[in-house]
A and B are shown apart, each in its own frame.
Chain A
Amino acid sequence: MQWEVVIGLEVHAQLSTQSKIFSTASTAFGAAPNTQTAVVDIALPGALPVMNKSAVEKAIRFGLAIGADINKKSVFARKNYFYPDLPKGYQISQFELPVVEHGAITIRVEPPKGEAYDKVVNLTRAHLEEDAGKSLHEDFHGMTGIDLNRAGTPLLEIVSEPDMRSAAEAVAYAKALHSIVTWIGICDGNMQEGSFRCDANVSVRPVGQKEFGTRREIKNLNSFKFLEQAINYEVRWQIDQIEDGHKIVQATVLFDPDTGETRMMRTKEDAHDYRYFPDPDLPPLMINDAWIERVKGEMPELPAAMQARFQSQYGIPAYDAATLTASKALAAYYEATVAAGADAKLASNWIMGEISAQLNREEKSIAECPVEAERLALMIKRIADSTINNKSAKDVLRWMWESPKTADELIAEHGLKQETDTGAIEAMIDGVLAANAAMVEEFKSGKEKAFNALVGQCMKAAKGKAPPAVVNEILRKKLG
């Protein structure tokens, strides 16, 4: 039987605010345990929540970025359950009326086999809620330690429709979402620190069947690699179960990166009854048009719009535009390079090629690139005006990487300047032709290969300092 995979993702993005969603305690990562807790974060009796404006503003930003509806009125609700890292015994979240609904993003999927393609993934909603604390299981005489520093960190829970049909699509979606939230500056995207975590709802159904299969939810996947591995494992497991005649039972599962397998946490039968109800401590959140307009005015240009602009403004191919807009910093670097006078296509080639490769080797981000856009631009100008050729340019770039010198300084220092006096080049070529009469004869009798050999001789004679195009042109003319 042919199976179709159905995946929906719930992503928890920590909003990069200074203080917590309902208290003035800091959200900074890595502090000593329980040192960043205000009364509400440890749920002292009588403590009350007060909403952080910046968290709301970041949710509005997200809504605008994905073309979603931003609800004028949304409601905070209590999700009740007992857990030691949940100090109040309830999580303040949004249930019936979330702050953001609908919207969609276009993803570029690169499947393991076959052509890359674009796909639209629809979003159901995004709502504001508070993060829980952390349970530390290392042994305290058989006890668990609770750190509530993370409790109350603002989260935006972003819920997709079950629109994805493969692990590759799920990963592409997660990456696109990651790119958006970091692009618009609402989340630092640090997956190791848990700033961006994915839950995947996975089910399978026979191809052609309308109804969804029974889903299982894989919790807390904190890398794209684990997301992909977990979904692939889960899909195989579900298909095997069904083909062996078993039924899938709705359940929550955990992915174990060590074994590469998912394992059951709880089934629907022992699922929580969360007893959601509107939080009486928090009146409804109201967002007016003026606020939305103001946030709109402060929104950065989004990747899709920027891609289109790069193609039209700089005349670069779609592939280049997409690559250069992978991050805001990379796009800014590219634009600064062009603005400093570099040819747009050459700049694209160098940034996507040598610069990216070197950064990758050094595991650095574009922000840490030692060659500033201005210096790169000058180097590219020197290629365009034939001062240096591509091969020398690679050397120049390597030296620029290690020193603050400019391309001009390095060209002079290393004597790389190409011969641009055509008279001198003609004289040099005449010499080469005279010394290689046999080759000239071969060429004239129709052997095109001989031309290339002559070019090689000329370049050798010029010690690499004559522009190949000029050499070519003069040589052709002389051989008539």
Chain B
Amino acid sequence: MLNKTLKQLAAQLAAKEISAVELATEYLARIDALNPQLNALISVDREKTLAEAQAVDAARAAGQAGALAGVPLVHKDIFCQQGWKTSCGSKMLDNFISPYDAHVVEQCRKAGLVTLGRANMDEFAMGSSNENSFYGPVKNPWDLNAVPGGSSGGSAAAVAARLAPVATGTDTGGSIRQPAAFCGITGIKPTYGVVSRFGMIAYASSLDQGGPLAQTAEDCALLLNVMAGFDERDSTSLQRDKEDYTRDLAAPLSGLKIGLPKEYFAEGLAADVAKAIDAAIAEYRKLGAEVVEISLPNTKLAIPSYYVIAPAEASSNLSRFDGVRYGHRAAEYSGLADMYEQTRAEGFGWEVKRRILTGTYVLSHGYYDAYYLQAQKIRRIIADDFQKAFAQCDVIMGPVTPNTAWNLGEKNADPVAMYLEDIYTLGVNLAGLPGMSVPVGFGSNDRPVGLQIIGNYFSEAKMLNVAHRFQQVTDWHTRAPAL
């Protein structure tokens, strides 16, 4: 039962072969059994979950249930959810019970999806290993010594370990795609503006975008149908007609032009990852796709550009955590200034502090032009490079990460070592493009490898089609870790 996809579960629920309460109960039992070792979820609330499930069962009995009603999921702890602790992986919000719902949470509730719990994450979504959580690191279900990736590490681990069929996540520099790759599941970061950021705790507002993580591309499409949509409460939410992201899943791939950026296959890419990616590309050729070499010449510059822009925005976004209206407040202080300084010193972990300090510096007087403005100009160059590339191909493919998941603790001494691992994912966020990760095999250490698919703006349906067709002829996405 627990290996089933969202699509299969929805069908069983609709056919009344199983109730939402029964399904939730099964998943809760598995969470009870496995979460202590995986640490994928921060909060579980059996009563709330079962109450939600009961409401869905009642709606179904009354003939008012939607197509996905009763399917359980976990929400990344970054989406505000009324009545649930919404910690964002931080001590700062350890006592924060959200008084309101994010748009994504509202959408899921309307669709009748049942919340199993709240997924662990790097504090304020800052990190690529999930080791920056106040609640401790998440373990990779494939290898408990390995990191699950981050920042949506809890979401990815939960889906991989079958603690939930699907999960919500967010991606600011790769935070859906990289943990999806490390945990051997499928995830998509949509075009910036497709999923509302209302109620999604901001890390870097011009880069943050919510998206689904699931076993299959088809499930991603189904959950994206729920998550996406215009929201007037987010000024960057795009006013577009509602799309059905499953509409093109079955379309044939003959004639599809795949661009392979030579910079994504250059020095730095581990041989075992390259091998798995090459095999996947070969599979695509068999499906009738054509492969062209392209260039994204400024790929390397994505790292400095991102690590200026994201911290700059974060330094401002995180100023609201001041101990005045909610969240942590230091117990001891001498006066207002000290209350701020102690509260923030105690409430934030070191990676968050480093990024706030970096962002504060690059925006400060005398450095703005040299750092922030320059980073924004490079951002433009990188976005333009992608448009030149899309003149030559329909989708871009390459690795999600240079290496498979590293060991817990391996890259903690030097923050920069971890930043360098983001090289293939950052450009997509800077450009605002959609990107996804599809499991395509395992590395020499038996840890999963993810193929990255990058599409042009609003081409999510095409990308999901490209991923789905691959999953029709391969079984990597069906592999589950032995736990």
Contact = CB atoms under 8 A, between A and B. Distances in A.
User: Touching in the complex, A and B, CB below 8 A?
Assistant: yes
Nearest to B79: A46
Given A46-B102, A275-B364, A283 B316 contact: no
B86 interface: yes
B103 to A, nearest CB: 9
A211 interface: no
Contacts of A84: 322, 324, 336
A78 interface: yes
A80 B363 contact: yes
A277 B86 CA distance: 28
B340 interface: yes
A49 B235 contact: yes
A43 interface: yes
Nearest to A78: B316
Contacts of B232: 50
Interface residues of B, number: 44
B324 A146 contact: yes
B96 A90 contact: no
A80 B235 contact: no
B194 to A, nearest CB: 15
A87 interface: yes
A289 interface: no
Contacts of A283: 235-236
Interface string B160-182: 00000000000000000000000
A46 B198 contact: yes
Contact of A280 (B80, B198, B206): B206
B470 interface: no
B100 A44 contact: yes
Contact of B324 (A87, A276, A282): A87
Contacts of A87: 320, 324-325
A171 interface: no
B324 A48 contact: no
A333 B357 CA distance: 61
Contacts of B312: 277
Contact of A44 (B80, B233, B315): B80
A435 interface: no
Interface in B210-225: none
A350 B93 CA distance: 68
B350 interface: no
B199 A46 contact: yes
Interface in A35-93: 39, 42-51, 78, 80, 82, 84, 87-90
Contacts of A80: 315-316, 319, 363
Given A50-B233, A282-B235, A275 B360 contact: yes
Given A45-B96, A51-B235, A281-B235, A273 B320 contact: no
A46 B80 contact: yes
Contacts of A90: 316, 319
Nearest to B100: A39
Contacts of B240: none
Nearest to B80: A46
Q: Which of B93, B197, B233, B365 is packed against the most chain A CB atoms within 10 Å? A: B233
B186 to A, nearest CB: 26
B123 interface: no
A45 B324 contact: no
B123 to A, nearest CB: 13
A276 B368 CA distance: 9
A169 B450 CA distance: 71
A178 B165 CA distance: 62
Interface string B415-426: 000000000000
B80 A277 contact: no
Interface string B179-214: 000000000000000000111111011100000000
A445 B80 CA distance: 105
Contacts of A276: 363, 368
B205 A281 contact: yes
B313 A45 contact: no
Interface in B366-407: 368, 372
B320 A88 contact: yes
B88 A45 contact: yes
A275 B233 CA distance: 26
Interface in A146-160: 146
Nearest to A51: B235
B234 interface: yes
A192 B362 CA distance: 41
A43 B325 contact: yes
B326 interface: yes
A89 B319 CA distance: 5
A45 B86 contact: yes
B100 A277 contact: no
Interface string B311-350: 0110110111110111000000000100010000000000
Interface in B231-283: 232-236
Contacts of A146: 324
Contacts of A282: 235
Contacts of A49: 235
Contacts of B199: 46-47
A43 to B, nearest CB: 4
Given A45-B88, A273-B365, A281-B205, A89 B320 contact: yes
Nearest to B102: A46
B324 A44 contact: no
A84 B363 CA distance: 22
Contacts of B368: 275-277
A89 B202 CA distance: 14
A275 B322 CA distance: 18
A145 to B, nearest CB: 11
Interface of B: 79-80, 86, 88, 93, 96, 98-100, 102, 197-202, 204-206, 232-236, 312-313, 315-316, 318-322, 324-326, 336, 340, 360, 363-365, 368, 372
Interface of A: 39, 42-51, 78, 80, 82, 84, 87-90, 144, 146, 273, 275-277, 280-283
10 contacts: A42-B325, A43-B320, A48-B234, A82-B340, A87-B325, A88-B319, A88-B320, A273-B365, A275-B360, A275-B363
Given A44-B326, A78-B316, A280-B313, 18 more contacts: A45-B96, A46-B102, A46-B197, A48-B233, A80-B315, A80-B363, A84-B322, A84-B324, A87-B324, A90-B316, A275-B360, A275-B364, A277-B312, A277-B363, A281-B202, A281-B235, A282-B235, A283-B235
The 6 A-B pairs with the shortest beta carbon distances in the complex, nearest first, are: A89-B319, A280-B206, A275-B363, A280-B205, A46-B199, A43-B320
